[in-house]
Amino acid sequence: MRTELITAAERTPLVERLARHALAPAGVYLAVRLTGVAILGVLAAVHDRSLLDVLKAWDGDWYLSIARDGYATTGFGKVDAAGNFTPDTTLAFFPGYPLVVGMLGRLTDTALPLVGVAASLIAGLFAAYGIARLPDDRKVGLITVALFAATPMAVTLSMVYSEALFSALAAWTLVGVMERRWWLAASCCAAAGLVRPSSGVLILIVIVAVIIYGRTPKAWVAAAVCPLGLVGFLGWVANRTGSLTGWFAVQKAGWGTAFDFGANTWEFVRYVLTGDTSVMEAANMVVVLGAIVLCVVGVLRKLPWPLIAYGIGLVVMTAGSSGVTYSKMRLLVPAFTLLIPVAVGLARRRNGTVLAVLIASALVSGWIGAYALTGWKYAI
């Protein structure tokens, strides 16, 4: 009897430790993001705006309209960056995120803005677990999650935006590649293709990984499946617009977005360094240049090639394209693999130092995101 009692007493701490281990990524992610949302709530109140109103601002309204009405061909009060609305304007936005929001809204009979915020929250948690799994070291993984949740424009992870969903699908695509779980990689990659055009980077990584490591028919089938989401949506837009480059034409006409090999970004950096610029403009420049530096650091630290290739690919697509310059911080939010070398360096420091850095990062990120949505007058 005594032995049984001791065994039972010893079993509880083990269960608790396992529970803490399992809940750690969610706890870290939520702690950072709730800090950011709290700061946003304060600044929103200062500007006499509701928290939900700012959480669905800018692209959020476009996504909600698509979730509610589909790809409408008539105006609904919004215009593109050029000040126009055409029957093709809504085609600039990928369908994955609004499709999720629309389905959840119908299933729960809940207001779509609330559903959108909830969908981003759930997707962010899935992203946290995927990101935590990528580094070999558990502590490094959790620090990477915290840094991801505290990137300068991480506020979009809590908004009616597609960043959280794409990050989740990208993280688990990379987990599938790293662990040679081809169906996981292919299914998440195909789904990511319905969410963001940057899924093209994931598609290349999956196909190259299959060529290098694939030894089974399943791997080759997975390589054929992974592009279906992106190809399917671009093909649908091409059919609707009557042009193979229909989606790219809509982007260029409405938002001035096109790949220009970094000419627009370089001009913006030159402008910020030599002119009288705002906090947001300076922050965008620092983030873009910092991301380029982190690409170099990742290569020098010999980050596994799928992880560094993903980070470099997102930086190339972001810095190499023209368009709304103030969106570049947001577009780099899913480039979480570039944060792993930073997390490795932090993991070697004392726990107090790590905690101080992460708290400071969360506070700075929270303020930047809140300012971008309440004090800054342009779209993010």
Q: What was the pLDDT predicted at 18? A: 55
pLDDT tens-digit map of 252-272: 888 888 888 888 888 888 888
Amino acid at 11: R
pTM for the model: 0.92
Other beta carbons within 10 angstroms of residue 345's beta carbon come to 13
**C-alpha distance across the termini of the chain, in Å:** 65
> When comparing pLDDT for 370 and 82, which is higher?
370
Other beta carbons within 10 angstroms of residue 193's beta carbon come to 26
Amino acid at 210: V
Confidence band (pLDDT; 50, 70, 90) for 17?
Answer: low
Tokens standing for residue 91: 């085609």
8 A C-beta contact, residue 33 and residue 358: no
Question: In the block, which residue shows the tokens 């939010």?
Answer: 333
Q: What is the dihedral of CA 357, 360, 365, 367, to 10 degrees?
A: -170
How deeply is 351 buried, as exposed, middle or buried, from its count of CB atoms within 10 A (0-12, 13-18, 19+)? exposed
Strand-pair partners of 259: 321
Mean pLDDT of 36-54: 94
The alpha-helical segments, DSSP class H, found in 193-278 are: 199-213, 217-225, 228-241, 246-255, 263-274
Our CA angle for 281, 286, 290, nearest 5°, is: 150
For 143-181, give the DSSP string. HHHHHHHTSTTGGGGGSSSSHHHHHHHHHHHHHHHHTT-
Measured in whole angstroms, the distance separating CA 187 from the mean position of its chain's CA atoms is: 18
Mean pLDDT of the chain: 90
> Cα(301)–Cα(136) distance, rounded to whole angstroms?
14
8 A C-beta contact, residue 288 and residue 332: yes
Q: What was the pLDDT predicted at 78? A: 78
> Cα(251)–Cα(357) distance, rounded to whole angstroms?
38
pLDDT tens-digit map of 54-106: 999 989 999 999 999 888 777 667 777 777 888 888 999 999 999 999 999 99
Mean pLDDT of 29-46: 96
